[in-house]
């Protein structure tokens, strides 16, 4: 795509992405919040595609759909008011969290502007040449090389979080109330 | 990408959806009646839209278009013929999985937005199914990409010129077909929206254009999934005598017919049985498939 076409896609899409991201925090429904976040991240994936970062764009579209759907699933499971019908306020400790959000945003923006980004790896748009999968290859070497420890650490952390989430979902749930007789201890035992 | 690519993709998707609908009549043992099909479609489109009086009605209205977009992109990623370029990315297989991944939010939005007990239950059933089946699907896609050393579907077809992937990786095929059928909303995995069991489930309130879009998207999903099965496992357009595109059409039609036939003859399994098999058998087996793919690639390709 030409620079003008890219810009015409990028700026409206970026604005739309920010609006959907903002509305994630304006709604009190778990399902709506999760789906709005999916919309924001899906648009981000489309922006990556428009910027010719094919692999990251497609991967973002794939992963975010699955992850946001899982998030909706867990939020509806855990929250007292999943449909947002009681107008529950989801924000806590407003002044400090707003301050932290502004500080982190400013820091990330400064980092983004200060970083010496590599020039765009423009291939032929994937028209059959051997070099067109180059960004995939570069990401592969990055993951299996310098960044391997980071990714392994993140992966194990996420695994612990998932196991923890399932433990919370079992038995008495997040409030820790023991419910010995009210429901079967183990659903697997019923199959046997 | 020429200017005609979107037109060609839409023509393939619409024409293919019509063919899938005719194939359904064949599989059901009914007379092939294209006119009756069109009359039925016209009657569906003629009905007025229903709007549930719920806070999330906008999700309900967005779900059918999202499902249709996912279905069209799925069809567009399939390599239909050597020269055909739908969406021909070097990461096309991942785009295929990504397009299918948006079926889940679409069904969830349909059920949650519909808001009645059976619709919400259908939505959550589909969520549970897809969390279990998306993993084997994605893992199998990486295993067929390994021998081709490419995520481009056309390259995966080319590497099967001598040996189709179903021969070198039979377990991958056995895992891919049921997961793909589940994502394509096909019986017997239609626990989220079965007419008989759930009264339409997640889709039960849709009428008019909504219902038409969903029916169209379902046929397109069958087309895309059957086409991708033919391309990734049955050596796609390779074959003697006939032109490449004809082989692709033939293989896709056979796969689609078998999938529809399986839905006719197999009983609908209970949800917990399906989930137990997915988590305890299919996902570990998919890890084995990846190891097998690596061995096959190192030794033979």
Q: Which of A10-24, A78-92, B134-148 has the least mean pLDDT? A: A78-92
- Quote the CA–CA distance of B129 and B273 in Å, as a whole number: 11
Residues of A in contact with B130 (CB under 8 A): 69
Per-residue model confidence (pLDDT) at position A124:
46
> pLDDT band for position A1 (50/70/90)?
low
* Mean pLDDT, rounded, for A47-76: 87
Q: Is the pLDDT of residue B43 over 60?
A: yes
| Chain segment B255-268, per-residue pLDDT in tens | 999 999 999 999 99
State whether residue B67 sits within 8 Å of chain A by CB. Answer: no
- Whether the full predicted model's pTM is greater than 0.95, yes or no, is no
Q: Is the pLDDT of residue A91 over 50?
A: yes
**Contact of A39 with A93, CB cutoff 8 Å:** no
B151, two tokens: 């995520």
Per-residue model confidence (pLDDT) at position B295:
94
Cα B274–chain centre separation: 18
> In angstroms, what is the C-alpha Rg of chain B?
19
Per-residue model confidence (pLDDT) at position B140:
93
Higher pLDDT, B184 or B54: B184
Per-residue model confidence (pLDDT) at position A116:
81
Residues of B in contact with A127 (CB under 8 A): 88
Q: What is the ipTM of this complex?
A: 0.87
Q: Is the pLDDT of residue A51 over 50?
A: yes
Portion 114-133 of A in contact with B at CB < 8 A:
123, 125-127, 132-133
Per-residue model confidence (pLDDT) at position A190:
47
Cα atoms found within 13 Å of the Cα of residue B53, Cβ hemisphere only = 0
Which residue, chain included where needed, has tokens 């609006």?
A: A19
> pLDDT band for position A28 (50/70/90)?
confident
The percent of chain A in helix, strand and coil, each rounded to the nearest 5, is 70, 0, 30
Higher pLDDT, B230 or A115: B230
Q: Is the pLDDT of residue A177 over 80?
A: no
* Mean pLDDT, rounded, for A56-79: 87
| Partner-chain contact A65 B101, CB within 8 Å | yes
> pLDDT band for position B70 (50/70/90)?
very high
Per-residue model confidence (pLDDT) at position B1:
55
- Quote the CA–CA distance of B256 and B222 in Å, as a whole number: 7
- Quote the CA–CA distance of A14 and A45 in Å, as a whole number: 11
> pLDDT band for position A128 (50/70/90)?
very low
Give the chain A residue whose CA is nearest to the CA of B92.
A58
Per-residue model confidence (pLDDT) at position A185:
53
Portion 5-24 of A in contact with B at CB < 8 A:
none
Portion 159-188 of A in contact with B at CB < 8 A:
187-188
Contacts of B182 (CB under 8 A, 6+ apart): B129, B130, B133, B189
* Mean pLDDT, rounded, for A137-152: 85
Q: Dihedral of CA B152/B153/B157/B159: which sign?
A: positive
Of A55, A126, A133, the CB nearest to B88: A126
Residues of chain B above pLDDT 70, percent: 99
The percent of chain B in helix, strand and coil, each rounded to the nearest 5, is 75, 0, 25
Q: Is the pLDDT of residue B24 over 50?
A: yes
Burial string for A149-186 (b: 16+ CB within 10 Å, else e) reads eeeeeeeeeeeeeeeeeeebeeeeeeeeeeeeeeeeee
* Mean pLDDT, rounded, for A100-109: 95
Portion 35-64 of B in contact with A at CB < 8 A:
55-56, 59
Per-residue model confidence (pLDDT) at position A92:
80
Per-residue model confidence (pLDDT) at position B258:
95
* Mean pLDDT, rounded, for B243-259: 94
Per-residue model confidence (pLDDT) at position B210:
92
Query: In sequence order, what DSSP letters do the residues of B104-147 get, joined into one string?
Result: HHHHHHHHHHH-SHHHHHHHHHHHHHHHHHHHHHHHHHHHHHHH
């Amino acid at each position: 795509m030409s620079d003008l076409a890219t810009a015409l896609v990028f700026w409206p899409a970026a604005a739309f992405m920010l609006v959907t991201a903002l509305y994630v925090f304006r709604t009190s429904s778990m399902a709506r919040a999760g789906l709005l976040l999916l919309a924001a991240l899906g648009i981000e994936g489309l922006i990556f595609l428009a910027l010719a970062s094919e692999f990251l764009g497609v991967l973002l579209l794939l992963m975010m759909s699955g992850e946001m759907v899982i998030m909706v699933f867990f939020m509806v499971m855990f929250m007292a008011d999943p449909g947002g019908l009681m107008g529950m306020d989801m924000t806590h400790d407003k002044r400090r969290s707003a301050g932290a959000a502004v500080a982190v945003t400013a820091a990330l923006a400064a980092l983004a502007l200060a970083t010496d980004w590599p020039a765009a790896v423009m291939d032929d748009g994937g028209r059959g040449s051997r070099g067109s999968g180059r960004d995939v290859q570069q990401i592969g070497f990055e993951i299996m090389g310098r960044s391997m420890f980071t990714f392994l650490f993140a992966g194990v952390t996420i695994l612990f979080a998932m196991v923890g989430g399932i433990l919370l979902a079992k038995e008495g749930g997040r409030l820790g109330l023991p419910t010995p007789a009210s429901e079967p201890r183990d659903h697997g035992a019923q199959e046997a | 990408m020429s200017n005609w690519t979107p037109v060609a993709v839409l023509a393939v998707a619409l024409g293919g959806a019509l063919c899938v609908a005719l194939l359904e009549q064949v599989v059901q043992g009914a007379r092939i009646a294209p006119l009756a099909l069109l009359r039925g479609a016209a009657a569906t489109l003629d009905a007025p839209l229903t709007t549930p009086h719920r806070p999330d009605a906008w999700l309900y209205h967005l779900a059918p278009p999202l499902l249709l977009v996912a279905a069209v992109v799925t069809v567009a990623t399939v390599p239909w013929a050597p020269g055909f370029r739908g969406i021909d990315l070097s990461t096309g297989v991942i785009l295929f999985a990504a397009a299918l991944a948006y079926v889940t939010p679409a069904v969830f939005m349909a059920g949650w937005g519909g808001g009645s007990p059976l619709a919400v239950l259908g939505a959550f059933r589909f969520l549970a199914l897809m969390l279990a089946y998306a993993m084997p699907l994605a893992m199998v896609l990486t295993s067929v990409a390994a021998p081709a050393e490419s995520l481009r579907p056309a390259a995966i077809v080319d590497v099967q010129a001598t040996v189709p992937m179903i021969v070198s990786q039979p377990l991958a095929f056995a895992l891919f077909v049921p997961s793909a059928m589940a994502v394509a909303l096909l019986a017997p995995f239609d626990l989220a929206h079965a007419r008989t069991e759930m009264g339409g489930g997640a889709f039960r309130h849709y009428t008019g254009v909504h219902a038409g879009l969903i029916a169209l998207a379902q046929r397109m999903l069958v087309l895309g999934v059957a086409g991708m099965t033919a391309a990734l496992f049955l050596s796609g357009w390779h074959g003697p005598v006939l032109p490449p595109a004809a082989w692709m059409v033939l293989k896709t039609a056979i796969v689609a017919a078998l999938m529809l036939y399986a839905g006719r003859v197999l009983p609908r399994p209970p949800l917990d049985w399906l989930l137990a098999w997915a988590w305890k058998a299919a996902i570990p087996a998919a890890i084995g498939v990846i190891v097998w793919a690596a061995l096959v690639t190192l030794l033979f390709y």
